[in-house]
């Protein structure tokens, strides 16, 4: 609401994602994650900082500036570093993770999918299959682990070798 007010009075301009369609954004929010989009200007950096400080004062919540990232597309590293210092942010790089998804990566590259494979492998290693029946393992696979690749694949098309890798992980742990 505060960011929308800044946009409405012209203190923070919308960012045009696609000029020909007229799609413009200033921010995306989900729960406690916020993604702020904008042009590379010092005015935008100052207004972004002001919005976050006002948010703290109005809500009583605290923005963790040291966990926040400032990432740029077609922005020089020196400018990005200076802006990150002004914002008290860390300088980020593309791809970065937002809501568990890598943003700005190439979904056709195998290393893009390492995040999903690592999450599945980590979950499987934490579960001790010795103490679970075959039915218990299958329920865990279907209810918990199958949601990870489904979430990723709802946004990105996976290469066939990645789908095969996920299936083999499920097969060897699940037993069939």
Tens-digit pLDDT profile for residues 55-105: 899 999 888 887 888 888 888 999 999 999 988 888 988 888 888 788 887
What angle is formed at CA 27 by the lines to CA 24 and CA 31, rounded to 5 degrees? 140
Quote the CA–CA distance of 37 and 47 in Å, as a whole number. 12
Q: Looking at the predicted structure, is the pLDDT value of residue 42 above 90?
A: yes
Phi-psi region of 36 (alpha: psi -120 to 50; beta: other; left: phi over 0): beta
Domain ranges of the chain: 2-93, 105-174
Cβ contact 16:4 at 8 Å? no
Look over the chain and give the mean of its residue pLDDT values, rounded to a whole number.
82
Tens-digit pLDDT profile for residues 142-174: 777 777 777 888 888 888 888 888 888 777 665
Tens-digit pLDDT profile for residues 5-21: 888 888 888 887 776 77
More confident residue, 85 or 111: 85
Q: What is the pTM of this model?
A: 0.63
pLDDT bin (cut points 50, 70, 90) of residue 128 is low
Q: Which residues pair with 96 in a beta bridge?
A: 103
Quote the CA–CA distance of 20 and 135 in Å, as a whole number. 53
Q: What is the reported pLDDT for 19?
A: 66
Q: What is the reported pLDDT for 176?
A: 47
């Amino acid at each position: 609401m505060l960011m929308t007010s800044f946009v409405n009075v012209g203190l923070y301009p919308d960012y045009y994602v696609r000029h020909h369609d007229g799609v413009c954004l200033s921010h995306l929010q989900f729960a406690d994650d916020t993604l702020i989009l904008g042009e590379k200007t010092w005015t935008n950096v100052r207004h972004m900082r002001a919005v976050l400080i006002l948010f703290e004062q109005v809500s009583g919540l605290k923005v963790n500036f040291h966990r926040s990232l400032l990432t740029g597309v077609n922005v020089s590293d020196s400018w990005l570093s200076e802006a990150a210092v002004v914002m008290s942010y860390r300088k980020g790089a593309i791809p970065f993770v937002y809501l568990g998804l890598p943003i700005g990566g190439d979904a056709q590259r195998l290393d893009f999918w390492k995040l999903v494979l690592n999450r599945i492998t980590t979950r499987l290693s934490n579960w001790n299959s010795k103490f679970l029946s075959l039915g218990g393992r299958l329920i865990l696979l279907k209810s918990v682990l199958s949601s990870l690749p489904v979430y990723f694949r709802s946004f990105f098309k996976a290469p066939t070798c990645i789908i095969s890798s996920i299936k083999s992980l499920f097969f060897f742990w699940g037993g069939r």
